Amino acid sequence: MSKITVLKSPDSIDDRIAILEDLLHSPMATAHQKKNIQQEIKKLRKGHSAEKNAHYHLSKLPLKNDAYLISDLRLSLAQEDGTEDVAQIDHLLVNKFGIIKLFETKSYSTGIKVTEKGQFLWLGKKKGYKEIPSPIEQSQRHEPTLLKALESLGYHGLKEVRHYILVDYKSKLIKPDGQFANVCRVDQLSEVFEQEKEEELENIKLLKASSVIAKALLTSTAHIEETFRELVKLHQPQVINYEAKFGVQPASHFICLTEIEQKYNLEQTDLYQILFNTGLLSKGRYGVFVNDLGKQEGLVMKKQGDKKMLYLPRRIVEQVF
């Protein structure tokens, strides 16, 4: 029985979710911004769930030959012109012959359709099918970056790369009969690989007969494992500035006036007087309000139910109190 060795599992999204939830509860977030942040959280969780599910199924595949599995690999290679050559690979499977299989996961729950011309269409909830960028071409664009990274690690095995698109097992998948076997639901992978076995065996026989490639086939399993373990070390997680993306300061940057009362054992009237004296608050016909200077310094007054809640940036609290 063959063995699949997992060299890397999908990264955790806990830190990213925590940052987004901090933004979601910010007193500065508008209803529109909150909606966008909630959509981002939903999208992130859905995509991560699909990747974890695909990783699990890939790790349990009944393969004929031992293989190594890498999931959620992001390569970023410096170019001579100062730019970065980036490849975000959902899953990579390499067997003992050095045949590399790249998997792109798609989590369109409503469904995907592939036309005879290879167009990918997403089934929307209301507006029918809408064309989306080809995930096959997306995966193929990762190939040169991957091969460049392997070359930099001194890899001298086969450089045959195959591409697969994994659709969420709950999704509807429509495609022409007998075409695009490499586009399948994740729970159908075993069947797809079973169909490929005979073809793969014939290819290996032909490769063994080739003096040019025979040397590559003699590449040791140890060399393949060592190289792909080093490849994992090149992983650079994507860093997203969510504050800049959504234009919101996180809730953790603020402290509510009631919390300040408890922390410094002060009455609300005393706190207001301090803020009046510093010029951050003013009194008007309809009560206390944050003036232009206060807004500039980041003070926020929001109505919650029948009450008005005042939030101060923590840096202001440290300066004033």
Could you read off the pLDDT of 71-114 as tens digits, one per residue? 999 999 998 888 999 999 999 999 988 889 999 998 877 788 99
- Measured distance CA(10)–CA(49) in Å, rounded: 10
Q: Where are the domains of the chain?
A: 4-233, 250-320
DSSP string, 128-149: -EEEE--HHHHHHHHHHHHHHH
pLDDT digit string (tens) for the chain, length 321 residues: 578 999 999 999 999 999 999 999 999 899 999 999 999 999 999 999 999 999 999 999 888 788 999 999 999 999 888 899 999 999 999 998 888 999 999 887 778 899 999 999 987 767 778 889 999 999 999 999 999 999 999 998 878 899 999 998 777 888 998 889 899 988 888 888 877 765 555 555 555 555 545 555 556 888 999 999 999 999 999 999 999 999 999 999 999 988 988 888 888 888 889 999 999 999 988 889 999 999 999 899 888 777 888 999 999 988 887
Instruction: Tell me how far apart the alpha carbons of residues 132 and 113 are, in angstroms, rounded to a whole number.
Output: 10
Angle (nearest 5°) at CA 13 between 12 and 15:
105
SS3 123: strand
Farthest CA pair distance, the chain:
92
| pLDDT given for residue 221 in this prediction | 83
